[in-house]
């Protein structure tokens, strides 16, 4: 009887869809302390060294250990502080990863409890620890204890880009006494967390707090600074002991089909940047506009497609997500797909756009799709291969949003011939994430192409270690040379 109860997760409250569609506030309200403890008690407490969840986590958070802290202390403040201490050892941005990680494919997929029932809700527990700590000033308290005791004089490191990988690398280095400067092209830090992920999935106040914490660690932000334009990589190298490049995969892929230049055809990046970064949903209070018609078609089925679709729903449109593969190959987080469905987003599978049709004024009127069919054969990502059926279908729409992925922005390497680049435009790195230029490291999507936030953060952490070793080694060599 008891087993039957604990086989199921303690649910986290969510706001009803009809209420969600009226604003951009967060969907999931997260655990209270009592609910978090109840969920924590379901954990089987595998030994940390062998815990499958920790192994599956790209940054290897000691998950059973932080969950144990929640169970051990009856006082919420102490429990959260100790749990946060455990998490921070491996991940300084738990409020973010708790919200944007695809846990169902990582830690929760590996969870031993999952074999007999529902896996532990690790993502929501992580988020609870981070949120409770932030709301009660516990993170500030812990930070105070951990602030570097020494003046930042171990060396100077430049970090290019202000997304998740950069923020992680910067904080790791700042914590051990490096003076870190972050160079960001936009007018605010955050990268994809700022312009890509919508408010209803990651409230910007959460991000702002993380940035504030970095500033308290002594990290300096140079905004409006486009490396490769405002300043060159060479100039930065002259002033800093090492460089970490994490400029992401910033350039949207567009379809090579007729009609791509019609007026209301957006890349998901443009659509989301207008809303998330520029607050176009508050136009005309904010100056940047966005136009969404009555019927929106979103092409693609990744997280960005869900974000664009759900944003368009909130702006009052009917939304169809069109995907060339089937339901089982949707790449978005399971929770985002569920939320999209609850919010009335409809899906069309096995269709690929072949033309966007316009009216005489150049506005979108419909999208013409080729119907696809799946084959038994699978591709390298073990997705079923697809082929055109020859049959087409025309679906009415007045706005089209293309969310088929991104490629690296070439601005960073365009004028730096020494920086070796792959045919995909990503930077080549060695096992220590060092590029072809000594002392210049890189990580996140500029290396991986398109990966998750947590993988980018894992790179940031790994690079921080490698940078530390690199700088200490070169200082040591310089000292020897002087003798």
Partner 1 sequence: MRWNSTGYRITGKADLNAEDFFVEVEAPEVAERWRPGSFVILLLHEKGERIPLSVQKVRDGRLSLLVKRLGKSSWQLYREYGVGSEVAHLAGPLGKPIELKEYGNVVVVSDLVCGHAENYAISSALREINGNYVISIQSFKDRSEVYPEEFLTKDVCHEFWLTTLNGSAGIKGHFLDVVAKLLEERDIDIIFGGGELASLWRLAELTKPYGIPTIVTVRQIMVDGTGMCGSCRVLVDGKIKFACVDGPMFDAHKVSFEDALRRLTRFEREEKLALERYLRGGAP
Positions in the binding site for partner 1 (CB under 8 A): 185-187, 195, 221-226, 229-231, 250-252, 254, 256, 260-261, 263-264, 266-267, 269-270, 273-274, 277-279, 283-289, 291, 361-362, 409-411
Task: Name the burial class of residue 103, with classes exposed (0-12), middle (13-18) and buried (19+) by CB atoms within 10 angstroms of its CB.
Answer: buried
Minimum separation from the CB atom of position 223 to partner 1 (A): 5
Minimum separation from the CB atom of position 445 to partner 1 (A): 12
The answer to whether residues 131 and 95 touch, using CB atoms and an 8 Å cutoff, is yes
Minimum separation from the CB atom of position 73 to partner 1 (A): 41
Minimum separation from the CB atom of position 235 to partner 1 (A): 8
274 vs 339, beta carbon nearer partner 1: 274
The answer to whether residues 304 and 338 touch, using CB atoms and an 8 Å cutoff, is no
192 vs 351, beta carbon nearer partner 1: 192
Query: At 357, is the secondary structure helix, strand, or coil?
Result: strand
Q: Which two tokens stand for residue 253?
A: 């892929």
The answer to whether residues 394 and 367 touch, using CB atoms and an 8 Å cutoff, is yes
24 vs 221, beta carbon nearer partner 1: 221
Q: Which two tokens stand for residue 376?
A: 């038994």
Spatial separation of the C-alpha atoms in residues 227 and 412, rounded to whole Å:
6
Minimum separation from the CB atom of position 245 to partner 1 (A): 15
Name, in order, each residue with C-beta under 8 angstroms of 424's C-beta and a sequence gap of 6 or more: 407, 408, 449
Q: Which two tokens stand for residue 29?
A: 């309200």
Element (H, E) at 401: strand 399-402
247 vs 303, beta carbon nearer partner 1: 247
21 vs 411, beta carbon nearer partner 1: 411
Return the beta strands (E) in 217-345 as ranges.
Answer: 220-222, 242-245, 251-252, 265-267, 295-299, 318-322
List C-alpha distances in Å: 297 to 46, 294, 334, 431: 46, 10, 20, 42
119 vs 198, beta carbon nearer partner 1: 198
Minimum separation from the CB atom of position 271 to partner 1 (A): 9
Backbone angles phi and psi of 324, in degrees to 5? -75, -20
Minimum separation from the CB atom of position 254 to partner 1 (A): 6
Minimum separation from the CB atom of position 134 to partner 1 (A): 23
Minimum separation from the CB atom of position 116 to partner 1 (A): 46
Spatial separation of the C-alpha atoms in residues 374 and 246, rounded to whole Å:
37
231 vs 348, beta carbon nearer partner 1: 231
- According to DSSP, the residues that pair with 182 across neighbouring strands are 159, 221
Spatial separation of the C-alpha atoms in residues 346 and 185, rounded to whole Å:
36
Minimum separation from the CB atom of position 252 to partner 1 (A): 5
Minimum separation from the CB atom of position 264 to partner 1 (A): 7
78 vs 224, beta carbon nearer partner 1: 224
11 vs 289, beta carbon nearer partner 1: 289
The answer to whether residues 357 and 365 touch, using CB atoms and an 8 Å cutoff, is yes
Residue by residue, DSSP assigns 370-384 as EEEEEEEEE-TTSPE
224 vs 392, beta carbon nearer partner 1: 224
- According to DSSP, the residues that pair with 181 across neighbouring strands are 158, 220
Task: Name the burial class of residue 388, with classes exposed (0-12), middle (13-18) and buried (19+) by CB atoms within 10 angstroms of its CB.
Answer: middle
Query: Which is it for the CA torsion 460, 462, 463, 469, positive or negative?
Result: positive
Closest CA relative to residue 424, chosen from 452, 449, 450:
449
105 vs 277, beta carbon nearer partner 1: 277
Return the beta strands (E) in 188-317 as ranges.
Answer: 220-222, 242-245, 251-252, 265-267, 295-299
Q: Which two tokens stand for residue 471?
A: 């700088």
Minimum separation from the CB atom of position 320 to partner 1 (A): 21
Q: Which two tokens stand for residue 174?
A: 């700042």
285 vs 328, beta carbon nearer partner 1: 285
């Amino acid at each position: 009887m008891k087993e039957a109860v604990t086989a199921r997760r303690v649910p986290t409250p969510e706001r009803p869809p009809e209420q969600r569609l009226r604003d951009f506030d967060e969907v999931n309200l997260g655990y209270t302390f009592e609910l978090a403890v109840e969920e924590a008690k379901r954990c089987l407490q595998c030994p940390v060294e062998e815990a499958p969840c920790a192994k599956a986590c790209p940054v290897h958070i000691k998950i059973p250990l932080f969950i144990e802290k929640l169970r051990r202390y009856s006082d919420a403040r102490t429990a959260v502080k100790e749990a946060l201490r455990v998490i921070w050892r491996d991940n300084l941005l738990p409020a973010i990863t708790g919200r944007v990680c695809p846990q169902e494919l990582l830690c929760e997929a590996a969870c031993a409890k999952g074999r007999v029932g529902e896996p532990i809700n690790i993502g929501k527990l992580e988020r609870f620890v981070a949120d409770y700590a932030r709301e009660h000033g516990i993170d500030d308290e812990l930070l105070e204890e951990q602030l570097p005791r020494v003046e930042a004089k171990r060396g100077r490191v430049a970090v290019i880009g202000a997304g998740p990988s950069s923020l992680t690398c910067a904080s790791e280095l700042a914590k051990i006494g490096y003076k870190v400067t972050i160079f960001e092209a936009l007018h605010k830090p955050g990268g994809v967390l700022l312009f890509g992920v919508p408010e209803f999935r990651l409230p910007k106040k959460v991000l702002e707090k993380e940035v504030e914490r970095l500033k308290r660690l002594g990290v300096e932000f140079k905004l409006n600074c486009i490396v490769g334009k405002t300043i060159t990589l060479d100039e930065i190298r002259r002033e800093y002991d090492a460089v970490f490049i994490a400029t992401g995969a910033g350039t949207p892929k567009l379809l090579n089909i007729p009609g791509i230049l019609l007026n209301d055809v957006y890349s998901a990046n443009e659509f989301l940047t207008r809303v998330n970064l520029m607050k176009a949903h508050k136009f005309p209070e904010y100056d940047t506009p966005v136009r969404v018609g009555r019927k929106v078609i979103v092409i693609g089925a990744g997280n960005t497609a869900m974000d664009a679709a759900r944003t368009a729903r909130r702006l009052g449109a009917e939304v169809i997500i069109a995907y060339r593969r089937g339901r089982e190959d949707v790449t978005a987080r399971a929770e985002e797909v569920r939320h999209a469905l609850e919010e009335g987003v409809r899906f069309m599978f096995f269709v690929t756009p072949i033309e966007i049709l316009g009216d005489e004024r150049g506005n979108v009127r419909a999208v013409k799709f080729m119907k696809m069919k799946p084959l038994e054969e699978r591709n390298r990502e073990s997705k079923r291969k697809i082929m055109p059926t020859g049959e087409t279908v025309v679906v009415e729409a007045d706005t089209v949003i293309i969310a088929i992925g991104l490629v690296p922005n070439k601005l960073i390497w365009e004028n730096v011939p020494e920086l070796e680049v792959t045919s995909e435009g990503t930077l080549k790195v060695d096992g220590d994430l060092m590029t072809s230029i000594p002392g210049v490291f890189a990580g996140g999507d500029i290396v991986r192409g398109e990966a998750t936030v947590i993988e980018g953060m894992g790179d940031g952490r790994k690079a921080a270690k490698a940078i530390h070793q690199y700088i200490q080694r070169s200082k040591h060599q310089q000292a020897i040379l002087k003798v």
